[in-house]
Amino acid sequence: MSARLASGKDAAIAAINQHVQRLSERVVEKTLREEIRRKQPGQPEIATGAPINISIDVAAAVRTQRAALETLINDGNLEEIIKHYPVRETSALTEIATKLGFKDRDDYEAAVRKLLVDDTEALTFVKALFASLPSDIAAA
């Protein structure tokens, strides 16, 4: 890994490390909303009229998520952090851009877009990161 890449990775992880609690809470928020949605009563449950209790230990969920994020940070696993946490809400992307030698995040993003237009192999790689999303969007 080049010195600039390593520097960008280290700076991004340091920026993310300042937001561990908030990022953990954001992931838990999304997860708990989905869990609550799955537990919502449907017609059969409503028809029976039986009480429905939904109990979620929010504090435990946040602790678990925080521990997972801290492990990724300690392991230097930036790829997994970017996959699972809203790093755009931190200065991590700006840190990566400047450490790679770009003026700012906008210049970095413009360079990435140009790369994806010019390099089909890079575009194929990025599309693979999104699994079935491109085909799901095309089918919609």
pLDDT for residue 132: 76
pLDDT tens digits along 63-93: 999 999 999 999 999 999 999 999 999 999 9
pLDDT tens digits along 23-32: 999 999 999 9
The CA-atom distances, in angstroms, between 100 and each of 11, 32, 49, 93, 117 are 11, 36, 60, 11, 20
Contact 73, 81 (CB under 8 A): yes
pTM of the model: 0.79
CA 127 to CA 10: how far, in whole Å?
26
Residue (of 77, 85, 69) closest to 9 by Cα position: 77
pLDDT tens digits along 104-114: 999 999 999 99
Contact 118, 51 (CB under 8 A): no
* Mean pLDDT, residues 8-25 taken together: 96
Which run of H or of E encompasses 21? helix 20-39
CA 29 to CA 35: how far, in whole Å?
10
* Mean pLDDT, residues 42-58 taken together: 90
* Mean pLDDT, residues 117-133 taken together: 86
pLDDT for residue 1: 56
pLDDT for residue 130: 79
Positive or negative torsion for Cα 119, 122, 128, 130: negative
The CA-atom distances, in angstroms, between 44 and each of 33, 47, 49, 51 are 22, 5, 9, 12
